Amino acid sequence: MRWLPEWARGYDRAWLPVDVMAGLTIWALMVPQALAYAGIAGVPVQNGLYVMPLAAVGYALLGSSIRLFVGPSAGVATLSASTVAVVGSASTGSAEYIALTVALTLMVGVLYIAGGLARMGFVSRFFARPVLDGFIVGLGLYIAIGQLPKVVGIAKPSGDTLAVFVRTVTDIGSWEASTVAVGVIALLSLFALARFTPKLPGVIIVVAVAVLATKVFDLHDHGVAIVGDVPTGFAFVSLSSVTAGDLVDMLPGALAIVIVGLAQSLAIAKSYGTKHHEKVDANREMLGYGAANIGAGALQGFTVTGGPSASATAERVGAKSPPVAFLVSALMTLLTILFLAGLFTDLPEAVLGAIVIWAVSGMIDPSKLTQYWHARSLEFWAALGALLGVILINILPGVAIGVALSFIMLIHTIDHPHIAVLGRSRDGSRFVDLEDDPDATAIPGVLIHRFEAELIFANADLFQDDVLARVHAAQPQPSMVILDFEAIGHVDVTGGEALRSMHDTLDALGVRLIVARAKSNVRGALQRHGIADVLGEDNFAPTVDRALESGALTTR
């Protein structure tokens, strides 16, 4: 039994009734959403159901979080559609389009697996949190606006997201009244049920009522578009039409799905891990997401990722072992595919659009942007840039903009580190930033300089220039400079050369240079770069006090 995951080995059968009920609740939530997300991905609605059974099994076996549900989501469905659209001219819903979608899903799974085996969980950091939040808000708006035409019963206008919104709203004369009524009632009902009866499966209730209303009032004859025939069982298409060139064309989109999916899924998994004091391993998560996508692709579904709604549902209904609840929902979905899919034939398309808008409403959280505005303007503009990239250009360029903005933020942070000049605290027990403590006093004749960043090529000149500028500006000129290296965890060759140049300049001025509190790895780097020999062993000190003592300048 060692091959079983830890949650399975320690499972108590007494938990099963609770977990079965939790699984049924998740099934009732996710099946209608899966049908709706299939439309976003551009595949037939039944392919939305195909996503879930093996995706849940794959993640349950290899993932590290026991509380994360991995399945269909509006975000990755949108990324999938944007990626497949790059290849050829296959029309949505066609066999060729489905084949490309399945191939993309399998490719994403392989990339996740390869990344997990190569221990590349760190790629989730390619998206800075403000940029990811801005991208998610933009993605939510992109998806919601894209569903508006379906809710009001018109063909989707061409153009970017802003154009689609303007043309949909201004073309009110073309709205289909019956469809608008169905869509608006469904949307309001979803929000009301979630707000006032959160324990009830609001989505499946709305779907059931909508299907019943369609049959009773012949809504299809009144202009309300319906899903149409949903075949039971699996309908597989051949992947022989997918060429190597198609895979190459889809590779950038697949990488975008991995980066965005990993960042978003890890954020959810880690939030639950923190709450329940459970470890989440990014590399194992990549393996789990890879297995889930390969499972989804094997049954001809589309790409999957960690989802907040089902994860939160398992938490809310008190699942004893969430993986078991997720597997129950997967089993119920399989039974739905085999025996119950036909029940959704009379489901109005407007209701699917309403479900999507309701589902992504949680992504559209402007309070996050205002939080960044109050905290730090750079983070706000980065978040806004990612949002506008999605809205004004498109999804895949928006991902590229997001990654670029994340690197710009990183470079800006490296290039603008906090620099402190230290003095003794009033009680003489420690050294503090003179700007932060007005009662602290500087050491006469000594500049104690603390650079609070890695000392690398991007900021080495800044480091050297700042020290020398303070030496030249001091009256009288200090006789000793102590570099407090406590906050420096890495020094590259360029940083080492800046230190060598600084030493030579200060030596010519008759100023002694001492490095204090350098970590062992930093000392080792300076030794390898030949800088330690230039400074001399006497010019390294374990503490600032010892550095002062070595210069015979200690104040008592």
pLDDT at 208: 94
pLDDT at 552: 53
More confident residue, 400 or 420: 420
Q: What mean pLDDT is predicted for residues 411-429?
A: 90
Residue 554 has pLDDT above 70, yes or no: no
Q: Cβ of 388: how many Cβ atoms within 10 Å?
A: 15
Q: Is 483 helix (H, G, I), strand (E, B) or coil?
A: strand
- The model's confidence at residue 429, banded by pLDDT at 50, 70 and 90, is confident
Is the Cβ–Cβ distance between 51 and 76 less than 8 Å? no
* Closest C-alpha to 254, from 242, 269, 237: 242
Q: Which residues contact 390 (CB under 8 A, 6 or more apart)?
A: 135, 138, 139, 141, 142, 161, 398
- The model's confidence at residue 1, banded by pLDDT at 50, 70 and 90, is low
As a 3-state breakdown, the chain gives helix, strand, coil percent values, each rounded to 5, of: 65, 5, 25
Least confident residue range of 99-108, 220-229, 547-556: 547-556
Kindly state the DSSP code that residue 422 receives in the 8-state scheme: E
Distance from C-alpha of 422 to C-alpha of 419, rounded to nearest angstrom: 10
Q: φ, ψ for residue 420 (rounded to 5)? A: -120, 140
Q: What mean pLDDT is predicted for residues 256-265?
A: 92
Q: What is the pTM of this model?
A: 0.82
pLDDT at 302: 97
Which helix (DSSP H) or strand (DSSP E) does residue 423 occupy? strand 418-424
Domain 417-550: what homologous superfamily? STAS domain (3.30.750.24)
Residue 407 has pLDDT above 90, yes or no: no
The amino acid occupying position 401 is: I
pLDDT at 309: 82
Residue 446 has pLDDT above 60, yes or no: yes
> 13: buried, middle or exposed (CB in 10 Å: 19+, 13-18, 0-12)?
exposed
* DSSP character string of 251-283: HHHHHHHHHHHHHHHHHHHHHHHHHHT----HH
pLDDT at 123: 83
Mean per-residue pLDDT of the chain = 92
Q: How far is CA 232 from CA 54, 298, 445, in A?
A: 17, 17, 85
Residue 248 has pLDDT above 90, yes or no: yes
Q: Where do the domains of the chain lie?
A: 16-409, 417-550
Q: What mean pLDDT is predicted for residues 77-90?
A: 90
Q: What mean pLDDT is predicted for residues 346-365?
A: 92
Residue 125 has pLDDT above 80, yes or no: no
pLDDT in tens, 313-354: 888 888 899 999 999 999 999 999 999 999 999 999 999 999
pLDDT at 553: 44
Express as a percent the part of the chain with pLDDT over 90.
72
